[in-house]
Amino acid sequence: MDIGYTSAHLRTAAVDAVRAPSLHNTQPWRLRLRGGGIEVLADPARRLPATDPSGWGVRIACGAALFNLRIALAVAGIPARVRLRPDPAEPDLLARLVPDVPRRPTPGEQSLHAAIPRRFSNRMPFWPNPVPADARWRLGEAARAEQCWLELLIGVSAVAAFGEIARGAHRVLERDPAYRSERERWLRQEPAPDGVPASAGGPLSEPQDVLPARGFGGRERAPGRDFEPEPLVGVLGSVGNTAVDQVVAGQALQRVLLTATDAGLSVSMLSQPIEVPTAREQLRLSLGRFGTPQMVLRIGYGQPGRPTPRRAVDEVLDLPVVPA
């Protein structure tokens, strides 16, 4: 096919792309139209230097935005062929999408697309109802479809052992004043187009909690509304841990999150044990899996909630200048 994507295609797909999750809702992406291709770039100005010194979080978020772009373009009837990191001379250029053969979207693509505006991080306690086997299977399939794996921790002792690793990582991070002040800076008490709204932060942590919460929370929890004692914890991992592997993992993350949303499930993310190298290694060894853990998910049935704000699409677009 020799025609390329247009500004109109990019504008429409970008509305979905920016709904992707990102560390502290920093939205560290840019989208560019060049020679009929749509390009996803990391925005280094939006990286968190203390929380994300290596840029791992930026690449996960951009991978998630890339997945949304792929689904949006597929649903528009012009699916993309994707090349990751196409130009070594431009390391911030993470992906380039060019039109593949036009076709009708599949029902699966349509369901994932419909889930994009409904997905949000749910940091509230979930109901104790277990996640049924078929939903667990679908989540694993979603990760596998994107060349990643999702290990669901089975049993109280596996979750307790993970909780110990995660709380240890949380304590390490919390000792760093730069990390704490970064988190404070991105916590929003007033309406804002980025950052984590206090209303989305979940409740205050309590000593009996199995999993550590990032500390966006401010509200006391209602009596009897503790976190589920046996949360379903999933660890998402990739084959390797290069920049490309992290973009691949970001796409898998978003596919798992949208599949969960489509199945009526709620998810919150916890990445403290990914951000602390010794904890990440402990987690990797505890799973006995080949590859690298890239994200941890708490999955269950949650109370309704609301998607968080995003910047206007125009702020992330880089379109060719049309001569007057």
Nearest C-alpha neighbor of 26 from the set 2, 9, 49, 1: 49
Judged by CB under 6 A, which of 183, 214, 284, 298 binds ligand FMN? 214
Q: Answer yes or no whether residue 241 interacts with ligand FMN by CB under 6 A.
A: no
Q: Answer yes or no whether residue 261 interacts with ligand FMN by CB under 6 A.
A: no
CA distance 13 to 149: 27
Q: Which two tokens stand for residue 90?
A: 């431009």
Judged by CB under 6 A, which of 272, 292, 298, 316 binds ligand FMN? 272
Q: Answer yes or no whether residue 25 interacts with ligand FMN by CB under 6 A.
A: yes
Q: Which two tokens stand for residue 312?
A: 């206007």
Whole-angstrom distance between the N-terminal and C-terminal Cα of the chain?
Answer: 29
Give the nearest distance from C-beta 68 to ligand FMN in angstroms. 11
Q: Answer yes or no whether residue 22 interacts with ligand FMN by CB under 6 A.
A: yes
Judged by CB under 6 A, which of 238, 259, 271, 282 binds ligand FMN? 271
Judged by CB under 6 A, which of 16, 21, 136, 262 binds ligand FMN? 21
Is the Cα dihedral 179, 185, 188, 193 positive or negative?
negative
Q: Answer yes or no whether residue 163 interacts with ligand FMN by CB under 6 A.
A: no
Give the nearest distance from C-beta 289 to ligand FMN in angstroms. 20
Give the nearest distance from C-beta 178 to ligand FMN in angstroms. 16
Q: Is 28 helix (H, G, I), strand (E, B) or coil?
A: coil
Beta-ladder partners of 41: 30, 93
Residue with tokens 């920016």: 18
Q: Answer yes or no whether residue 30 interacts with ligand FMN by CB under 6 A.
A: no
Nearest C-alpha neighbor of 56 from the set 212, 186, 240, 310: 240
- Using the 8-state DSSP alphabet, how is residue 4 labeled? -
Q: Compute how many residues bind ligand FMN; rule: CB under 6 A.
A: 20
Q: Answer yes or no whether residue 18 interacts with ligand FMN by CB under 6 A.
A: no
Q: Identify residues 100-159 at the interface with ligand FMN (CB under 6 A).
A: 120-121, 123
Judged by CB under 6 A, which of 196, 211, 232, 265 binds ligand FMN? 196
Classify residue 127 as exposed, middle or buried by CB count within 10 Å of its CB (0-12, 13-18, 19+).
Answer: exposed
Q: Answer yes or no whether residue 62 interacts with ligand FMN by CB under 6 A.
A: no
CA distance 125 to 261: 17
Give the residues lining the site for ligand FMN (CB under 6 A): 21-25, 57, 60-61, 120-121, 123, 196, 214, 268-272, 307-308
